Amino acid sequence: MSENQTEPRKISILIVDDTPNNLRFLSSMLLEHGYEVRKAINGKMALRSAQAEPPDLILLDVRMPDMSGYEVCHALKEKPETREIPVIFLSALDHEKDKVIAFEMGAVDYVTKPFQFQEVLSRVKTHITIQHQRQLLMQQKARLEEEVRAHRETELALKKANQELQRLASIDTVTHVANRRCFDEYFQEQWQQLALQKEAISLILCEIDEFNAYIETNGDPTADECLRTVAWAISRPIKPAKNLVARYSDAKFGLILPRTTVAEAFRVAEQIRIEVAQLKLHHAAAQVSPYVTVSLGVSSGVPSSKSQPKTLIETADRGLHEAINQGYNRTVIHQ
């Protein structure tokens, strides 16, 4: 035998009987068949022994002084550490009611005295095998439950990862507001929904004035910071509900305002224009103002099967260009 190999653990059997001859006989015979044997002459000793080091099986006499075998069995089944130990009763009581009581107490078998050792041995082997199979099943069950738990955790992690990927796929990496893809998808979704409900939808297109000149003067990192700050200022007057702020293109932002009239959209656009102006971000290359400003175009309408979403976008864009042509830093409604 190599040093790494160990002998298999012997099956441990606790014999509980107040008759010394029975203890000696059963003990010697079971030892001859390779079992590890422990003995107890009363119920209290049996309980202490079983709780200190649970055996694989207990052979338990029914009639004992101070504490009967039934009481011992009941006490064993009350404790988590001894509850699963199979108990075989050995008794001279051969009445049916005695056997019923034994099984009600949780015994797995009942052998009447005087017994033949071969019968006892056969019962012991059977219940040791059953217990071993039961333990294997419990181990397999525990492994399966662990695998299921791990699988669920993996599924949850994948779900969260997919949700995060979807979120990132909808976010502009520079400004951290929605991106153009998200704008297009959400606009189409709201257009179809409001066409059924016959309710208005408004758009605002907002562009940072003379932004190319700002980039040339300040460089890309500063320009990105400017975009983030303006995006934050644009988002301030917007109630999150179903409204959406998105980066539409380079220095242009798009706002979708479902169930909003043109007058309400104009007020929002003016709030945005004022918010950005109050940032007082220096724009040395600007011709109109020393600070960063925005121009805005507003459009509104009730979607229908005869109209196209792009029409509303084109209308807002015309309003934006009119605002720019009129000298920047203003809002124009185009119907």
Identify which of 200, 205, 202, 207 has the alpha carbon closest to the alpha carbon of residue 297. 205
* Whether the predicted pLDDT of 168 surpasses 70: no
pLDDT at 4: 53
Angle at alpha carbon of residue 86, lines to 82 and 88, rounded to 5°: 125
Instruction: Give the residue-averaged pLDDT of 172-185.
Output: 92
Is 3.30.70.270 the CATH classification of the domain at 180-333? yes
Query: What torsion, rounded to 10 degrees, do the Cα atoms 236, 237, 243, 248 define?
Result: -70
Mean pLDDT of the chain: 90
Instruction: Give the residue-averaged pLDDT of 127-137.
Output: 88
Instruction: Give the residue-averaged pLDDT of 243-271.
Output: 94
Residues 6+ apart with CB under 8 A from 130: 86, 108
Domain ranges of the chain: 12-139, 180-333
Query: What torsion, rounded to 10 degrees, do the Cα atoms 270, 275, 281, 283 define?
Result: 0
**pLDDT band for position 330 (50/70/90)?**
very high
Cα distance between residue 135 and residue 230, in whole Å: 66
**pLDDT band for position 301 (50/70/90)?**
very high
pLDDT at 269: 95
pLDDT at 93: 80
The predicted-structure confidence for 77-121, as pLDDT tens digits, reads as follows 999 999 999 999 988 887 888 889 989 988 999 988 887 889 889
Range 12-139: architecture per CATH: 3-Layer(aba) Sandwich (3.40)
> Do 314 and 203 contact (CB within 8 A), yes or no?
no
Q: Which two tokens stand for residue 312?
A: 């509303």
**pLDDT band for position 261 (50/70/90)?**
very high
**pLDDT band for position 1 (50/70/90)?**
very low
Q: Which two tokens stand for residue 135?
A: 């333990």
Q: Is the pTM of this model over 0.85?
A: no
Q: Which two tokens stand for residue 279?
A: 């940032």
Q: Which two tokens stand for residue 236?
A: 């301030």
Which segment of 36-40, 131-135, 192-196, 261-265 scores lowest on mean pLDDT?
A: 131-135
Q: Which two tokens stand for residue 59?
A: 């052979």
Instruction: Give the residue-averaged pLDDT of 183-206.
Output: 93
Question: 3-state DSSP call for residue 228?
Answer: helix
Check if 12-139 and 180-333 are the same fold.
no
**pLDDT band for position 164 (50/70/90)?**
low
Q: DSSP alpha helices (H): ranges in the chain?
A: 20-32, 43-52, 69-78, 96-104, 117-169, 180-197, 211-218, 220-235, 262-279, 309-325
Instruction: Give the residue-averaged pLDDT of 9-19.
Output: 90
Cα distance between residue 58 and residue 89, in whole Å: 8
Radius of gyration of the chain (CA): 42
Residues 6+ apart with CB under 8 A from 93: 62, 63, 112
Cα distance between residue 257 and residue 184, in whole Å: 13
Percentage of residues of the chain with pLDDT beyond 90: 63
Question: 3-state DSSP call for residue 173?
Answer: coil
DSSP state of 92: S
**pLDDT band for position 166 (50/70/90)?**
confident
pLDDT at 92: 82
The predicted-structure confidence for 231-242, as pLDDT tens digits, reads as follows 999 998 887 678
203: phi then psi, degrees, rounded to nearest 5: -125, 145
* Whether the predicted pLDDT of 334 surpasses 50: yes
> Do 206 and 230 contact (CB within 8 A), yes or no?
no
Identify which of 30, 32, 24 has the alpha carbon closest to the alpha carbon of residue 56. 30
Cα distance between residue 230 and residue 277, in whole Å: 10
Residue 229 half-sphere exposure toward CB, CA atoms < 13 A: 18
* Whether the predicted pLDDT of 213 surpasses 60: yes
Q: Which two tokens stand for residue 217?
A: 């003067």
Cα distance between residue 168 and residue 160, in whole Å: 12
> Do 265 and 215 contact (CB within 8 A), yes or no?
no
DSSP state of 178: B
